[in-house]
Amino acid sequence: EVVVFKIKDRDIPIVHRVLKVHEKPDGAVELLTKGDNNRIDDRSLYAPGQMWLKREDILGRAVGTLRYVGMVTIMLNDYPALKYVLVGLMGLFVLTNKEG
């Protein structure tokens, strides 16, 4: 199962595969996730002191895939100048667009 989850104090949701499901005696379910290309589980991504994802952390589950789309957001965060280049290119396309 692939889920979309949001970590407290982080802006961008994360989409990773469920690695383990931990069911408590009271019926509560906790999840441990891991990215397919990561060597270890996502505990280092969770909020400080958080070992499992709870139901309120889960936004939904994935029903399809668009490979490598997440790389765009990573590149835009790693190279801020790329944002300005893309916005400039979009502006150029708007200015040069001919409407009939």
Rg (CA), the chain: 19
Give the residue ranges of DSSP H helices in 1-100.
Answer: 69-78, 80-96
Q: Assess whether pLDDT exceeds 80 at residue 100.
A: no
pLDDT tens digit string along 58-85? 999 989 888 888 888 889 889 999 999 9
Q: What is the reported pLDDT for 32?
A: 96
Tell the residue number behind the tokens 């801020």, with chain if given.
80
pLDDT tens digit string along 35-61? 988 999 999 999 999 999 999 999 999
